Structures are given as structure tokens and as C-alpha cells.
Chain A
């Protein structure tokens, strides 16, 4: 026990861990975030910045919080509301309607767009769109700025940040975790939150908890700045991404690569010639941007649970938090949910039953092979 109340250590300085720390620090909890490197250095700083997760129980809270985040944090997130999704054929158009139905179920509306609407709303789009949707919810933010904003806001409320600190193990007493062993000494805690992305499995295993997950590498590209479109969050043609407020097009999509994560080490985030089909798809999505120059490509390593859904669950005085490859946009709400679990043992604003670890109790030992998530190559493609 510290003077400020129970002490919480959060392992993982990504969007999820830092948001949880920010929520806890606002409650006056003595919170410390430990990261092996720099905040937001992994998937939290390498994603598309989307904030439109209509299938999640955290959706309503995500939508409530994002428009307030600049003011709540005190630092800019570059949040911009609304999203458009463009379909190039009837099949894509039918597929993308699911978002509209899910959001409607939760009280959010969308407009159906025809080709003329798209030309009007998306100046960089071309003539060949089949149709699309204007989602009057969601939006996008700048992942780099947001993650740093969480860290600074958390520190403003008295939270502590230990970067470049590697976790080596845990101290346990009486069936509870009492401390985190790091390369900079033991940090005592009354509660532990594991929000370490692909390393969560390894860390949980040290506590005899099995969190099934496999890591994958996914790639994005960014172009030089272009004149701003009225709505920057425009997806479609198998791509996700956004036009940044500076004007760059930052987009990803397409195949991922399942990779091995050994222990606590993240493999290098190498990008590959996948840049070329990404560029081709982006030039089709925005024909009037085909001249725009690609300045960088990059990759991130993200984890997925067997069903691709989060685990946000509390076992004793340990709270597990993996958002299963969809974490950035939900982070204002996931941090709130983690705060609730840590403080009261239950989330008071959303039904998290679909996030429980127990749903994998009957999972096959060879689930990775059954789902084809093993690594390995063979068939040539251009």
C-alpha cells in the first residue's frame, strides 16, 4: 500500500496500458507503467488511427469519449469525426453494409452514398465507385500523438512511466502477485495489469495463465501531403487508413504474415514489397492521387487471439488486456474498462462477457494448425 492508495503496475506502454494508467491516475491510484522501450513504439504507433468499432461492446463508450479526448487529455490527438467507405462492386457494397447495421443496433446512423455523392464528398475519388456509406460515427486520430498524450496526461495526474525497462518475472505471495521483477529492480504492486501486446502471452505464462494468441506482421504506406478532403477517414477497396490533417494518405490492408514471437522479444518490424499492391489499391481508391509519392512503408507486429476478440478479464489481482489487433481506436474505452476491473472487479458501463478468457476453455491444443496460423512459405506470387 502506498500513500495514494493501492498501487498498480501496468506492463505495456501502448495505447491500452497507457489509457488504463491515465484512468487509474485520475482516480488517485498510484500507478506505474513499465515498457521495454518507448511508449507507443509497437502497434499502438503503427496503425490506421480508426475509431469506429461498431461490433464491440466498448463501441458506445468509444464514441462518447473520442470527441472529448483533446480536452480530457490536454494534448492534441488530431481526432476527426465520421468515416466514409467506398465499394467498387455490389459484393463489396453488400459486405460493407454490416457496419451500418451494427451501428444502427446501437443507435448510430449512416447514409448510403451513390457514385455522385462519393465524387462530391471525396475529392480524390474517381468515377468508378459503385457506392458507399457515410458512417455518422467513428472517425480517426493520430496514433503517435494520442499515445504520447496518454503518457503525458497520466504523468500529469501523478502516474509514473518507466521506459527502457524489461520485465524479468513476478513476485508472488499467497496466490497474489506482489511485485514485478525488472532489470531495474523489483516494483511492488497490489494489482498487476498485463497489456503488453504480443508479449502478453509470455508474461501471463509466467503466472501460469494461458492467453492463447499468435503474432502477425502487417504493413502500411504513407504518401506526401495532398489537399485536405472534407472527411479524412475514407476506407474501401480492401484498405483502411486516413488522410492525416497534414494531408498525407496513410493506408494499410491486405495480407498479414504470421510470425514467431520468442519469449519477450519482438521481431523486427520489417516492411516488404507488399508496398506495391498497397500502392495499386490506393491509386484505385483515389485515382486523383495516383501521382502522389509514397514516402515510407512500415510494419507493425500485432497479436490475435483465436477468435480475434479482446481478452479483458481479471483473475485474482491480475487484469489481462489484449485487444487482439484492434486496440488503438477502442483505447479510450478499454482503459476505462480496465480501470473498472482493477477498482471494482466489474465493468459498470459495458457487457464484457465476450472478452472473458474462459471462452477458450474448450480450445483445441492444436488450434494454431487448425486455423492455418503457422508460419512457412511455398507458392510463388508476383
Chain B
């Protein structure tokens, strides 16, 4: 007999089943799906692209900076463009892979020390209209990379976007609205991205590097080294210029796009939320899954391939991110780092309660980051709970790496010591009506607000002096509070 109000005694029944689920139809995911289907394995391959333009407007899943052309609003045209942009997609279709575009994977689940009701690996999917669960024997996560955000005055203007986002729009959607771009960052990945865009007709007017020299050969660009980003100028229609200071002299660079190419960040959201072990590696692009020789994570049924498994970097990612944040974000303390919740760098480091509380800033209740620190490094989740930085609709995609750098700089510790701010399912915002499933009658029959224990809510003036399981009154309905 199991406590009927508990989930113990039940097992989730997913709406559908496959042998292998591959998440992400980029090069690595397509390759993995094709190899598996050719080995006779039943494969479902999901990819969230093409992303609806209103979702792109919230910088989900990439920092699109509202630099999509009007074509992005035409979903079927985008679907066509996306399929045509990589012949491997058609090849996967033809080989028998069940390819589903426009399908989000928002959660990967399995049993563990505190969960026993999964039938095995289970993944939550959604097509934007409804959601469902798919059970599988194995999951391959191939979710690629995204761009680290960087706060400076005007970084919320349309036209300040990530390099990965710009390349996605230009090469996969044919919907990038930019003609003259400034690139922030001079790693080989940044410059390769700039060259791809240049080949597609985007003029790269300058490459800005905060270090004294470019990190990779940049002779084919106008490079400005030792530069500090002061602000982006522009208006409703977007950025019109970037003001940069080098050696104390301000320069105004006219442009219609500022491309953040400081650091590509492996997209580990699903892996972290699923409880896979994550480590910080300065040579693999920051926080990455711990993998064995076969690419398996600490959860044997879940593997990672492609950029989300790690991005080889010739430079020290931690030092480079910290340098940019020190030079730019710390220099503009009153700019919103967390744009969703409107939290500045100063408010993050002073652990200020959010402004809507109107809490008086008196000496007696002033607490900065040092007041939080025990013996451990600063924890971004704790800072998030108190300042709300990272709690918004973009789910921390714009500010996560900046906040970690700010905390490390302020506490004087290594970036690798700052714990990873937790990822949680759903890793894409999901409307209640879409997330909702049909409630199983077995669940509904015993659904209670809290534990369904009658004894818990007996008013104290009626409690008996002794309690035993045999004499407990468990009949009738319970009114939990």
C-alpha cells in the first residue's frame, strides 16, 4: 500500500516513445541522428528552429537583438529557409529520421535519488500549441552555443546582438537586418564569424578588443585594441553608432549593428536541469558537461555532442570574460545587466532589494556582497533570490555570465569558483495553457494541496495525547492549507 496522495506507486506514462531522441538539428545533432538511423535505430530529431519572431523578440534562444528582417514573421518561409540552409536535414528525412522542426525540448528527466516515478529517460516537448512527453532509451543533446551578453549603455537598443544570433539569422533564416556592423571581441571564433558575415555582404566597420592586442590575426579588419565600450547610440529603430574609448580618447563608430562576440557559451540548460554533472573548463568554453570517452554525461542515458559538449578555445575563457566585464560592465555600473528585471551592476554587488519594494536605503540595512559570503565563493543563485538578477523571462540568457564575472571580480575569486546559477525546466518559457497536460484521473482522485494528511490539520485543541498509525483517523476528505 502506498500513500494515495503521493506519487509513489505510480509511473509516468509518456504520450510517445522512441529509441533515440536527438535534441538539436545543427551539424552535430544531424550527424548523430544520421549515424544512428543508418545503424537501424529509431530516431526522433527535434529542433526549435524556426523560432517564432515574437519569441526571438525576447532574445530566446539567442541574443537576436531585434535585428530580424520582416521575413522572420513568415514562419513557413523561415521553415523553408532553415531546411534549405543545410542539405543534411533533407538527408536525415530521406534516411528515415523522424525530423520535427519548430519543436522545443524543454526538459529532460530521469530517475535519481529523489525521483522514482520516471519510466526511464523522458523529455518534455512542445510545438508552441501543446506540450507532451516522449520516452526514450537514449538522449543525445546537441543544443549548440549562444553568446555571452555584455552590458553597456544602449545595449538594449535594437541592433545590439550576439554573433551566433547574427550568423543564425544570416545563414539559416536569410533574415539578418544589418549592413554595417561593429564586432566586440577578437578571438578566432569572433573573426571567423565576422568573415562569414562579410562574405554575405555585411560591412565590418571595426573590431573592438579590450586587450592590448587582438587574440587572433585581424589584419583584414580595422581593429581597435585597448578599447573600452562607452555606449551605443540610437533610438527606436536601433543602434546608429558605438562610442568606444581607447587611451582616453572617445571615437564614434557609425554602424547599424553591434555584434557581441566575446564568448560563445555552450548551451547546457537541459543537461544542467537534468542533473548531469557540470564543470568549469577555461579551455572548453566555460561550464560544460563532464563527459566520458563516448560523450556520455554522468547520466549514462544522456550524451552531449557538438558545441554544447564544449568549445575548444586557445585563450583562457575565464580571464577574457572577466577582462571585458571589468572594462565595460563595471565601468557603467548603472546600466541594467539583467534587462528583464532591470537590475544594474551596482545593485547586484550591493545586494539591493528590487526597486519596486521602495525599501529605504539606510545605513543600518545596507548589506553588500561581503555580507552574504560565508566561507564559500559568492553564489549567483543567492544573489538572484535577493536582487532578482537572472529571474526574468529570458531565463538569465542575457546576464548569467556577466553576473558570474561581477561576483568573481567583487569577491576577488576565480571565475571557476563561482557556482553555476541553476538551470530549471522548462528551459524555454512555456505558457500555462501549453504546458498543461490532461490530468490523469488517478492523480486527480487524490490530488491535495499539501500531503493530504488529516492529522496535520486537526486544530491543536483537539489533538489526542498519543499518536499511532493504527488509530489515526484517515477517513474522509482532508483540507490542507
A residues with CB within 8 A of B = 38, 45, 50, 52-57, 74-76, 78, 91, 95-96, 98-99, 102, 105, 144-145, 148, 152, 156, 161-165, 216-218, 223-224, 235, 238-240, 245-246, 253-260, 267-277, 279-283, 289-299, 301, 304, 306-309, 324-326, 351, 353-354, 359-364, 366-367, 369-382
Flag if A293 contacts B429 (CB, 8 Å): yes
- Asked if A95 meets B479 with Cβ closer than 8 Å, knowing A55-B458, A377-B9, the reply is yes
Flag if A276 contacts B435 (CB, 8 Å): yes
Complex-state Cα separation, A4 to B426, whole angstroms: 50
B440 touches which one: A91, A105, A258, A382 (CB < 8 A)?
Answer: A382
Flag if A74 contacts B364 (CB, 8 Å): yes
**Smallest Cβ-Cβ distance to A284: which chain B residue:** B436
For this complex, 14 residue pairs linking A to B, each with C-beta atoms less than 8 Å apart, are A224-B392, A270-B109, A272-B117, A272-B118, A277-B440, A281-B439, A293-B431, A293-B432, A295-B393, A306-B472, A308-B451, A326-B450, A371-B3, A376-B2
Flag if A275 contacts B425 (CB, 8 Å): yes
Flag if A277 contacts B114 (CB, 8 Å): no
Interface check B457, CB cutoff 8 A: yes
Flag if B430 contacts A370 (CB, 8 Å): no
- Asked if A217 meets B460 with Cβ closer than 8 Å, knowing A152-B371, A255-B6, A376-B8, the reply is no
Flag if A294 contacts B432 (CB, 8 Å): yes
- Asked if A378 meets B9 with Cβ closer than 8 Å, knowing A280-B436, A298-B424, A372-B1, the reply is yes
Flag if A238 contacts B447 (CB, 8 Å): yes
Complex-state Cα separation, A240 to B477, whole angstroms: 17
Complex-state Cα separation, A277 to B441, whole angstroms: 11
CB-CB under 8 A from A363, the residues of chain B are 467-469
- Asked if A273 meets B365 with Cβ closer than 8 Å, knowing A246-B356, A359-B466, A380-B13, the reply is no
CB-CB under 8 A from B15, the residues of chain A are 382
Flag if A280 contacts B449 (CB, 8 Å): no
CB-CB under 8 A from B138, the residues of chain A are none
- Asked if A275 meets B107 with Cβ closer than 8 Å, knowing A326-B456, A381-B443, the reply is yes
CB-CB under 8 A from B432, the residues of chain A are 223, 279-280, 282-283, 289-294
Flag if B481 contacts A53 (CB, 8 Å): yes
Q: How many whole Å from B265's CB to the nearest CB in chain A?
A: 19
Q: Which 9 A-B pairs have the closest CB atoms?
A: A308-B456, A163-B374, A280-B436, A293-B429, A144-B385, A279-B435, A267-B114, A370-B469, A267-B113
Stretch from B91-99, B158-166, B375-383 that touches the partner = B375-383
- Asked if A254 meets B113 with Cβ closer than 8 Å, knowing A297-B426, A381-B440, the reply is no
CB-CB under 8 A from A324, the residues of chain B are 456
Flag if A164 contacts B376 (CB, 8 Å): yes
Flag if B429 contacts A351 (CB, 8 Å): no
Flag if A293 contacts B460 (CB, 8 Å): no
Complex-state Cα separation, A291 to B393, whole angstroms: 13
The B contact surface, by secondary structure, is loop
Flag if B374 contacts A162 (CB, 8 Å): yes
Q: How many whole Å from B216's CB to the nearest CB in chain A?
A: 37
Complex-state Cα separation, A364 to B472, whole angstroms: 12
CB-CB under 8 A from A50, the residues of chain B are 481
B114 touches which one: A105, A257, A280, A353 (CB < 8 A)?
Answer: A257
Complex-state Cα separation, A76 to B355, whole angstroms: 12
Interface check B102, CB cutoff 8 A: no
**Smallest Cβ-Cβ distance to A162: which chain B residue:** B374
- Asked if A291 meets B431 with Cβ closer than 8 Å, knowing A98-B479, A144-B386, A273-B107, the reply is yes
Complex-state Cα separation, A378 to B426, whole angstroms: 26
Q: How many whole Å from B383's CB to the nearest CB in chain A?
A: 11
A372 touches which one: B4, B385, B431 (CB < 8 A)?
Answer: B4
* Contact mask for chain B residues 113-157; partner A; CB cutoff 8 A; 1 contact, 0 none: 111111100101000000101000000000000000000000000
Complex-state Cα separation, A361 to B442, whole angstroms: 35
CB-CB under 8 A from A291, the residues of chain B are 431-433
Q: How many whole Å from A374's CB to the nearest CB in chain B?
A: 7
**Smallest Cβ-Cβ distance to A184: which chain B residue:** B375
| Among B353, B364, B374, B443, residue most surrounded by chain A Cβ atoms (within 10 Å) | B374
Q: How many whole Å from B11's CB to the nearest CB in chain A?
A: 5
Complex-state Cα separation, A371 to B453, whole angstroms: 10
Complex-state Cα separation, A296 to B427, whole angstroms: 8
> Which chain B residues numbered 376 to 432 have a C-beta less than 8 Å away from chain A?
376, 379, 382, 385-386, 388, 391-393, 395, 424-426, 429-432
> Which chain B residues numbered 342 to 383 have a C-beta less than 8 Å away from chain A?
353-354, 356-357, 359, 364-365, 367, 371-372, 374-376, 379, 382
Flag if A253 contacts B3 (CB, 8 Å): no
Complex-state Cα separation, A216 to B451, whole angstroms: 9
Q: How many whole Å from B48's CB to the nearest CB in chain A?
A: 15
* Contact mask for chain B residues 226-267; partner A; CB cutoff 8 A; 1 contact, 0 none: 000000000000000000000000000000000000000000
B residues with CB within 8 A of A = 1-13, 15, 107, 109, 112-119, 122, 124, 131, 133, 275, 341, 353-354, 356-357, 359, 364-365, 367, 371-372, 374-376, 379, 382, 385-386, 388, 391-393, 395, 424-426, 429-433, 435-440, 442-443, 446-451, 453, 455-461, 463-470, 472, 477-481
- Asked if A254 meets B443 with Cβ closer than 8 Å, knowing A105-B459, A376-B116, the reply is yes
A380 touches which one: B10, B112, B465, B481 (CB < 8 A)?
Answer: B10
CB-CB under 8 A from B424, the residues of chain A are 271, 296-298
Flag if A145 contacts B386 (CB, 8 Å): yes
**Smallest Cβ-Cβ distance to B365: which chain A residue:** A74
Flag if B460 contacts A351 (CB, 8 Å): yes
Flag if B468 contacts A362 (CB, 8 Å): yes
CB-CB under 8 A from B430, the residues of chain A are 279, 293-294
Flag if B460 contacts A57 (CB, 8 Å): yes
Q: How many whole Å from A137's CB to the nearest CB in chain B?
A: 12
Flag if B116 contacts A164 (CB, 8 Å): no
**Smallest Cβ-Cβ distance to A360: which chain B residue:** B467
Flag if A379 contacts B442 (CB, 8 Å): yes
- Asked if A364 meets B469 with Cβ closer than 8 Å, knowing A217-B115, A259-B114, the reply is yes
CB-CB under 8 A from B9, the residues of chain A are 376-379
- Asked if A364 meets B468 with Cβ closer than 8 Å, knowing A56-B460, A91-B477, A164-B375, the reply is yes
Flag if B481 contacts A55 (CB, 8 Å): yes
CB-CB under 8 A from A290, the residues of chain B are 431-433
Flag if B443 contacts A260 (CB, 8 Å): no
Given contacts A267-B112, A273-B124, A326-B456, 17 further A-B contacts (CB under 8 A): A76-B357, A102-B459, A164-B374, A245-B357, A254-B443, A256-B6, A256-B7, A257-B117, A267-B114, A276-B437, A280-B439, A297-B424, A304-B453, A367-B469, A380-B119, A381-B443, A382-B15
**Smallest Cβ-Cβ distance to B453: which chain A residue:** A308
- Asked if A382 meets B364 with Cβ closer than 8 Å, knowing A95-B479, A376-B2, the reply is no
Q: How many whole Å from B407's CB to the nearest CB in chain A?
A: 14
Flag if B472 contacts A307 (CB, 8 Å): yes
**Smallest Cβ-Cβ distance to B7: which chain A residue:** A255
Flag if B431 contacts A299 (CB, 8 Å): no
CB-CB under 8 A from B372, the residues of chain A are 148
Q: How many whole Å from B195's CB to the nearest CB in chain A?
A: 37
CB-CB under 8 A from A306, the residues of chain B are 455, 467, 469, 472
Flag if A283 contacts B7 (CB, 8 Å): no
Flag if A309 contacts B456 (CB, 8 Å): yes
